[in-house]
Structure 1
Amino acid sequence: MNTDLTDLTDTVELCARLIRFDTTNHGNGDSEGEREAAEFVAEVLAAAGVESHTYESAPRRANVVARVPGEDLSLPALLVQGHLDVVPADAADWSVHPFSGEVRDGFLWGRGAVDMKDFCAMVLSVVHSLAASGRRPRRDLVLAFVADEEDQGGYGAHWLTAEHPELFADCAAAISESGAYSYHVRAADGTPVRLYPIGTAERGTAHLRLTARGRAGHGSRRNEENAVVRLVNALHALAAHTWPVVLTPSVRAFLERTGEALGVEIDLADIDGTLARLGPAAGLVESTVRNSTTPTMLQAGYKVNVIPGIANALVDTRVLPGTEEGLLAQVDALLGPGVEREFVSHQPAVEAPVDSPWFDAMAAALRAEDPEAVVVPYCMGGGTDAKAFAPLGIDCYGFAPLWLPEGFAYRAMAHGVDERVPVEGLRFGTRVLERLLVSV
């Protein structure tokens, strides 16, 4: 692959180049493939004197892993990981072509600009900056640029940790999406506050398939064993159920520290009232004070006058750390007779220590670039490849630093139309990342 490798410390140029590789992941193994993007990453690393290895889980499903030696070999390594695949984008809906990597109006546009080729570009830029200056990170860095995060990870992180766990054997902690971006809110007295939430936890995934069975028959006849009715009743019970509040360490710390920064009363016995008082800051925590069971797909029948003998549904179930056993017991009680459940996807929740040297180092790196940063832990409502690495005993943090302008709908960018990231935000994030990697 003959790649022009100029401007290797320019995060914006590196990110634009990565965006121009169409690495669309359609799901269920249907993908354009990450191969060309992975080859580019390997060449960029090689130009910085870093040897990498490419692991292909299936044709064109490529993963790149490298190690950057640190100054203190007695320290455990830090894993820095990001995914190269992106979700589909329909060019007809976009203001620019989604794989153009165009810079316009101070933003870099394209699919993957925030999810998460921006972070991959930052990592490559920092590696080149260190090489150019002759500096080394404090500890070894294991770099992983993986495939398939936008589906189940079966060709990417989950495959790597199952087939090549030795690559990560000495990693004590990891950083990746999604956290350390500026989130603009206001204190109770109206003072502007910039929160920087670092991901210290994420809910587990327990996607369920419900199967209702009954007696098939004619639609005009009475039928007390209608599979569709059984399924609808089960889904209504799940959707109507109010899951109890569960305050995990990350959520509790977010509420207490954010409340203190905003001058807002935090009453842990009245979470709904507390969320109301937090205002826009509640958007970072409202989905993670409870478990959730959200019906998303239905399938039943083939003809309007025929009662089918079977009906199916999928339920997006998200589980807070330490709550899965109780949640599943409650689900079983709500389903009712004639309805069974099975896992479609099952990945554990992730919880890393909030009060740790890792978190403190990340907070310090952010404050060095933004002295007014208010750094708080938070729990992600969805999931990342941390679910693959955490079972190896690695403390996984969401730390992909970005500066964002006030009013910019960053959280709507991932998987959205006209995905884009501010150019200055990328450069800010690169400086923060470099500070962390040379000091942690």
Structure 2
Amino acid sequence: MSSTPVAGRPSYAVVLRVPHARRTFAAALLARLSYGVVPLSVMLAVTRATGSYAVAGTVMALFSGTSVFLSPARATLIDRHGPRRVLVPMTAAHASLLCLLTVLVWRPGVPSLALGAVTAAAGACTPPLGPTMRAVWGRLAPDRALLQRAYSLDGVAEELLFVSGPLLVGVLVGVAAPAAGIAFGTALMLAGTAGFVSSPAVRAIGPGPGRGGPDRPGAASRGVLRGIAQPVVGAVGVGLALGAVDLVVVAFAGQRGYGDNAVAWTLAALSAGSAVGGLLNGAVAWRVPARTRLPLTAAGLGLALLAAGLAPGLGTLAAALAVAGCFVAPALTTAYLVADEAAAPEARVRAGAWVNTGVNAGSTGGAAGAGLLLGGLPTALCFAAAGGAALLTALATARSAPERATAGGARSGLRPPIVQPED
């Protein structure tokens, strides 16, 4: 990127030395660990309480659906009223509903309708801590190069949370009922959010200028959405590919007689590659504009998935997926960067939430599509379909990139960087 460096080339250590960064980031990660703990705990607890996989699947669909698709609405509230005014009551409502769900599933025999209603409401109140933390990074980072590293660090940490969360649930259910996992995830959310909103970096963020009055007309709001079309499309495409890959790997292993452990390690290779790619992406001082890098990373993901379809065994498949993973975190980090560049300062949380929603919606669609394809196609062609989705995304995002985009969004007229005083 072409932004002015901070003390030479900024590193991850420089990111964590930014005033209030460590405290705020650690608290946000503690709360976000709940995202990796609660869903699996809910699924296991509901399955045990009802004895029905169909009910468990429906409950999880309601929980994830309201959480994902209402995320932009919750982010809009934070942009308008400030994170402290919104996150405190939102987290309280989310935690209260999860506590109620814990009580309901502790013993068998709970009505399915009650479970669905409580989980749907809990999902609707899920605090958007990821988009909010990325908006805070936008205020803490002195320039675009440092912000790139902050986003990369955030993305890699989030990837590790979604790997470690289910592992913690696995340990917990070995000594307690699955409902205890819901309670544990609720405690993580409460403790982490309390630390996050009490951070000076978050306390300094007040309500946005637009609260439905004449200073924030509808045309301006629609302009924000037009500005983030490219990163949202990119996020949807990456989500489509990843959602399909998860299910295709399960089918690949099952057809060759491998067990569930083999599936887990194969998908772990994808996550490991993503973590490595994210760290490398953040360490490079890019001179290529972010809007140009986005289709390139999507294309790299697509080509790697095409190669995965040629894998003869699980070992070579894991290697191919590790290579594919090297493009995942960079693609998503770049999408968040582009969205942050395009959004007005008072709409950062909402812009990040739309990218996040795009990833999750794409993942849901990719899993559904893979389920249909696996009924009549070999896994090689299913991998090719996932790769093709990523390549089409690369084409779509390349066409939507504005010609005047530059390496630093601030220099293309999107918005100026926010400069923090030095230590």
TM-score range, shorter chain: under 0.3
Q: Which has the higher contact order (CA 8 A, sep 6+)?
A: 2
TM-score w.r.t. length of structure 1? 0.25
Q: Which has the higher helix share?
A: 2
Q: Which has the higher strand share?
A: 1
TM-score w.r.t. length of structure 2? 0.26
Instruction: Say which one has the larger Rg.
Output: 1
